[in-house]
Structure 1
Amino acid sequence: MAKKQGKQTYLMQQCLTVRAWAAVGSKKEGQGPLASGFDLIEPDSTFGQDSWEKAESRMVSLTVAKALSNAALTYEDIDCIFAGDLLNQCVGTTFGLRDSGIPLFGLYGACSTMAEGMLLASLLVDSQTVRRAMAVTSSHFCTAERQYRFPLEYGSVRPPSAQWTATASGAVVLEEGNQPPYLRAAAVGTVEDLGVTDQNNMGAAMAPAAAATLRRFFADTNTSPEQFDLIATGDLGAIGSQLLVELLQRDGIDIKSRHTDCGLLIYDRQKQDVHSGGSGCGCSASVLGSYLLPSLRDGKIRNLLFMPTGALLSPTTVQQKESIPGIAHLVWLSHEKEGIL
């Protein structure tokens, strides 16, 4: 059973491996720098469906099927799956998985959902409650715009601080094993809110949560940024990434040379009109599957802190003039079974 370390961190006691993974994207993701790492790029963002929401569900089912194929497994081999998306009642997930027969834990952590799913899945596998578990998340540009801002037909102008919701999905299969990448530890995030109210500046809203989780992880494990090759946040974009670095520098923690952001990796900001970068549940999940996990498997990255961040707002809270709380969950992924701790 995982050992609790400090206030928010859990160290895995078994040897947990990410057995397989998959990343699926659409046209814009296929034009980005990570395109070659995706398992599937579907140029038609409707995925052959007659609504954007059905398209997202189809993308989820394709991603899960591809991850299982990569692992040479079937739906019956999976004990449970942790999954979520950005839509009301997580309908992208539930409709996408309704024919799979896999026992489902539906999650909502906004764009932090991939790490939340991996964290919970790892705790169940590490405790040997289940043998094998999956995590999957998704997002779709058109469903997210309709959900959080304006339908595309409205033609609203996006400010420079806005980010582009990725039409993408990522999935992983976790089990005990002896092949990298390994999942070594996980840290549960707390809800943080510094009063940001601009729904077109999610990076600023989420940066305090990312800072809080990293501070706590380093304190809980008595580690420092220099001991990790890469700290990959999820979807802070250009503005939020800079704020995260500055917030931690105030506490004497320097991550600048180690930090990257999935929202800055998935697109080419010079050539693609994505403003501050990418976002969405599927952004960090697909970057994990197309770039980060292959790099860990091959030893190009030895130790990675993967920390997607989520903005916990809804259309209702925005209309009520509420601020935007954020949360960030962290998983430590490694090419090595042991070391550092």
Structure 2
Amino acid sequence: MGKHIGKQSAIFDKDIFIINTASTVGKKEGEGPLKDYFDVILEDSLCGEDSWEKAESKMVNENMKLVMQKEKLQFSDIDYIYAGDLLNQSSGSNYAIRDLNVPFFGIFGACSTIGEGMALGAINIESGVGRKILVGASSHFCAAEKQFRFPLGLGTQRPLTSTWTVTGAAALILSDTGKSIKIKGITTGKIVDLGIKDANNMGSAMAPAAADVIINNLKDFNIQPDYYDMIFTGDLGYVGKQLTIELVQKAGYDISKNYTDCGIEIFDKNTQDTHSGGSGCACAGTTFAGMIYDKLKKGELNRILFIPTGALMSPTSIQQGESIAGIAHGIIIER
């Protein structure tokens, strides 16, 4: 069996493969720098439905079916599904999965959800309980803006620190048999809250949690940042990325040479007016399922630390003036 390492990490003894992925994104995401990596680019963000929320569920359902088709599997082959989103009580995932007839763990880690699902799925396989696990995460710009900030019809001006919630769905299949791309270990994040209360500055709220995971991963495994070909955080954007570099630097590690953020990679801020970059469960999810997984398959990357990040807020907590707690989960992936 795997073993606990250091303060927050674990290493797995079993081979836990990521055998396939699927990514579906909206029109704006499909116009960005990663457009060639996505499986499906939607022209209609409503997906033919009459609400943003129904559109997200449809997107999740069809994207999960797509990854199963790519791997030539039936849903009866899947032991468990781990999935979540940003909507109240994870309704985007719940309604997407209700007809699939697969045991289901609904999870919530805000924008870190894909990482949480990968970690829990890997632990499931390591324990011997499951052999094939389906992991998913999604978000929708219009639904998220309505829930957490302002209805789109108000035309509210967004500050430069704000990020753009990615419209998309990501899915991946974990298996105890496969070919080359493995989850070797994890570093589980702690909730870190430095008192940020601005829902339009989530990069600053999440950066301390991301830095904590990076620092503890390096300490737990007694390694330096260049052990990894790349370190990817999830949803910090330009503001959060710079803050993460500075916080990790204070701990004595320089990650500036091999570190980027999915929220920076998925949009072109100069041509797409996304301000600080991208966020949402689908930001890290679709970037991994698209670009990162492709580079791992091609051998352009061989060892990475993937750290989706989440802002653990709710509409109620924001309205009551509560600060935004940050979370991040680190996944060590090797080819």
TM-score above 0.5: yes
In structure 2, the residue matched to 1:176 is 176
Which residue in 2 is equivalent to 1:55?
Answer: 55
Hey, what's the Cα distance between the residues in 2 that align with 1:252 and 1:7?
Answer: 18
The answer to whether the Cα contact below 8 Å between 1:166 and 1:278 also exists between their aligned partners in 2 is yes
SS across alignment from 1:210: helix
**Letter paired with 1:4:** H
- Map of 1:103 onto structure 2: 103
Distance of 2:55 and 2:311 partners within structure 1: 23
CA distance in 1, matches of 2:267, 2:77: 35
Q: Deviations 1:262-281 (Å, cap 9, x if unpaired)?
A: 00111111110100000000
Question: Quick one: distance in 2 between partners of 1:118 and 1:254?
Answer: 27
Which aligned runs of 4 or more in structure 1 are off by greater than 4 angstroms? Answer: none
- Which residue in the other structure is 2:255 paired with? 255
Query: Which segments of 5 or more consecutive residues in structure 2 lack a partner in the other structure?
Result: none
1:70 deviates by 1.3
For normalisation by structure 2, the TM-score amounts to 0.99
Alignment-derived partner of residue 94 in structure 2? 94
Give the Cα–Cα distance (whole angstroms) in 2 for the partners of residues 178 and 107 of structure 1: 25
- Map 1:105-120; keep pairs closer than 5 Å: 105-120=105-120
User: What residue in structure 1 maps to residue 12 of structure 2?
Assistant: 12
Per-residue displacement from partner, 1:21-53 (whole Å, max 9, x unpaired)?
A: 100001001101111111111110001111000
| Match in the other structure for 1:329 | 329
Deviation at 1:178, TM superposition (A): 4.2
Q: Which residue of 2 aligns with 1:131?
A: 131
Shift of 1:77: 0.5
For 2:270, give the aligned amino acid: Q
Aligned to 1:339: none
State whether structure 2 residue 305 is matched by structure 1 residue 305: yes
Do the aligned partners of 2:18 and 2:178 also contact (CA within 8 Å) in 1? no
- TM-superposed deviation, 1:249: 0.7
Q: Which residue of 2 aligns with 1:24?
A: 24
**SS of residue paired to 1:159:** coil
What are the residue-to-residue correspondences of 1:217-296 with 2, within 5 Å? 217-296=217-296
Name the CA distance, whole Å, in 2 between partners of 1:178 and 1:46: 36
- 8 A Cα contact 2:19 2:178, kept in partner: no
User: Scaled by the length of structure 1, what TM-score is found?
Assistant: 0.97
Letter in 1 for 2:114: M
- Bigger shift: 65-74 or 136-145? 65-74
Counterparts of 2:116 and 2:2, CA distance in 1: 16
Is residue 180–residue 296 contact of structure 1 (8 Å, CA) maintained in 2? no
Structure 1, 156-165 or 173-182: larger mean CA deviation: 173-182
Secondary structure of the residue that 1:317 maps to in structure 2? Answer: helix
Instruction: Kindly indicate whether residue 207 of structure 2 is the aligned counterpart of residue 210 of structure 1.
Output: no
5+ residue gaps, structure 1? 336-341
| Distance in 1 (alpha carbons) for counterparts of 2:98 and 2:7 | 36
Deviations 1:74-113 (A, max 9, x none): 1111000100000110000000111111111000100000
Q: How many Å separate the matches in 2 of 1:136 and 1:319?
A: 29
Q: What is the DSSP-based 3-state SS (H/G/I as helix, E as strand, rest coil) of the residue aligned with 2:25?
A: strand
Between the aligned partners of 1:60 and 1:313, the Cα distance in structure 2 is: 22
Residue matched to 1:33: 33
- Separation of aligned partners in 1, 2:296 and 2:105: 27
- Displacement after TM superposition at 1:299 (Å): 0.7
Where 1:271 maps in the other structure, the secondary structure is helix
* 1:151 Cα deviation from its structure 2 partner: 0.6
Report the counterpart of residue 188 of structure 1 in structure 2.
Answer: 188
* 3-state SS, counterpart of residue 216 of structure 1: helix
State the Cα deviation string for residues 41-78 of structure 1 (Å, max 9, x = none).
Answer: 11100011110000000010011111111111011110
Following TM superposition, by how much is the alpha carbon of 1:136 offset from its aligned partner in structure 2, in angstroms?
A: 0.2
RMSD: 0.8
Determine helix, strand or coil for the equivalent of 2:269.
coil
> Deviations 1:197-250 (Å, cap 9, x if unpaired)?
111000000000001111111111111101101000001000000000001111
Instruction: Give the aligned partner of residue 67 of structure 1.
Output: 67
Check the 8 A contact 2:312/2:325 in 1, yes or no.
Answer: yes
Deviation at 1:177, TM superposition (A): 2.4
1:161 counterpart SS class? coil
Identity %: 45
* Separation in 2, partners of 1:297, 1:36: 15
